[in-house]
Amino acid sequence: MSRRSWVEQIMGLPISVLARGKAAGGEAADAVVREVFAELIEVDRVFSPYKPDSAVSLLARGAVSWDHLDPVVREVAERCVAARELTGGLFDAEVPGGKWDPSGLVKGWAVERAGERLRKVEDVDWCLNAGGDVLVVCPSNEPFTVGIQDPRDPGRVVARVSCAGGAVATSGTAARGAHLYDPRTGAAVVTRWLSVSVTGPSLEYADVLATAAFVAADDWPAVLLPGYEGLGVLADGNLFATDGWGSL
């Protein structure tokens, strides 16, 4: 079976696409991947808190009002409000200091949206990996194996999940250290869990739920919605999985 891969540095992280199938090496597959990368670059331009001319940065400086922003920014803001309500306040785009930072939702939302382009290419299975958050599209129903990174050793995996369609997202301290805070208190998250990974049909929701679950600490399994499963990694290396964790 033909395979082909692409990788670009976008949003400050490597985004890779793996194609598998008869048409994986064709021009249509290459063209759609370039479209996916272009869409994600545009999302980064609009939403990055590190780019001085992004909508997020302009809002933070008071240089623009919500009424003058592109409708897609208001759409993301509405999705962030919905995510806050869905998680009982465990996820919130309003960060300490009163600024709006939708980064915790934008990546999953953007990859999920861009992934719709991949579905248009027939006879190709896709695995799109955005810095460890993974979207899988498999018309063949032959699963990809997605590894869950060991938060204590980025070169190792602690578990594998068989994924024939859907998403896997992970939140924790491995990549960026102790960067998450509890929106309910404004304080940094203190927990014995090093990471929580979530599987489910939507990467947008899996990403939000993984963040909320990590903030919830020992109560994280209760955060998951129906159709979503989780795997937590403790500081001592022990694992805890919900009953439905496994194939997706």
Listing DSSP states for 83-122 in one string gives HHHHTTTSS-SB-TTS-B-THHHHHHHHHHHHHHHHTTST
pLDDT digits (tens, 9 = 90+) for 133-185: 999 999 999 999 999 999 999 889 999 999 999 999 999 876 555 568 899 88
pTM of the model: 0.94
Strands 133-137 and 125-130: antiparallel
Q: Which domains does the chain have, with CATH numbers?
A: 3-241 (3.10.520.10)
pLDDT digits (tens, 9 = 90+) for 201-214: 999 999 999 999 99
How far apart are alpha carbons 129 and 134 in whole angstroms? Answer: 4
pLDDT digits (tens, 9 = 90+) for 28-80: 999 999 999 999 999 999 999 999 999 999 999 999 999 899 999 999 999 99
**Are the beta carbons of 33 and 70 closer than 8 angstroms?**
no
How far apart are alpha carbons 176 and 124 in whole angstroms? Answer: 33
In the numeric block, which tokens belong to residue 61? 């400086």
